[in-house]
Amino acid sequence: EAQVTQNPRYLITVTGKKLTVTCSQNMNHEYMSWYRQDPGLGLRQIYYSMNVEVTDKGDVPEGYKVSRKEKRNFPLILESPSPNQTSLYFCASSLQVPRTGSLEQYFGPGTRLTVT
């Protein structure tokens, strides 16, 4: 089954304790991205990746790191989490359909992070 998986789905942690949220896709998509979603602010891009070893900052990258060592995985790293990073996080992967030029984007199920 084609899917994007994220782990963990729920996490409660304390300020300053490093954490990693994993994201994996089995569709061989080149493009992957991380978003955070907060009430009243919508989905905001954190980082994105156009291919292996190619990553770039989105709109709200401060406090986050990513890596893309393999095509299928795109982990999000919080080196020193703070309470303002409490949010719902979504990973997504994208593919451009060659025949139509259309773009398809699939989201993971989300990770609800609470930093106390």
Partner 1 sequence: GQNIDQPTEMTATEGAIVQINCTYQTSGFNGLFWYQQHAGEAPTFLSYNVLDGLEEKGRFSSFLSRSKGYSYLLLKELQMKDSASYLCAVRSGGSYIPTFGRGTSLIVHP
Quick one: how far is CA 103 from the chain centroid?
18
Q: Binding residue for partner 1 (CB under 8 A) from 55, 74, 81, 108?
A: 108
Q: To the nearest whole angstrom, how small is the minimum distance from the Cβ of residue 74 to partner 1?
A: 12
x/- contact string, 8-47, with partner 1 (CB under 8 A)?
Answer: ----------------------xx-x-x----xxxxxx--
Q: By C-beta, is 41 or 52 nearer to partner 1? A: 41
User: By the 8 A CB rule, do 44 and 90 touch?
Assistant: no
Q: To the nearest whole angstrom, how small is the minimum distance from the Cβ of residue 51 to partner 1?
A: 10
Q: Binding residue for partner 1 (CB under 8 A) from 2, 15, 54, 59?
A: 59
Structure tokens at 19: 């954490």
Interaction between residue 72 and partner 1 (CB under 8 A): no
Structure tokens at 103: 């773009």
Q: How far apart are CA 6 and CA 72, in angstroms?
A: 12
**What are the DSSP calls for 49-112, one per residue?**
EEETTEEEE-S--TT-EE--SSTTB--EEESS--GGG-EEEEEEEEEE-TTT--EEEEE---EE
| Residues forming the site for partner 1 (CB under 8 A) | 30-31, 33, 35, 40-45, 48, 50, 58-59, 88, 90, 94, 96, 101-110
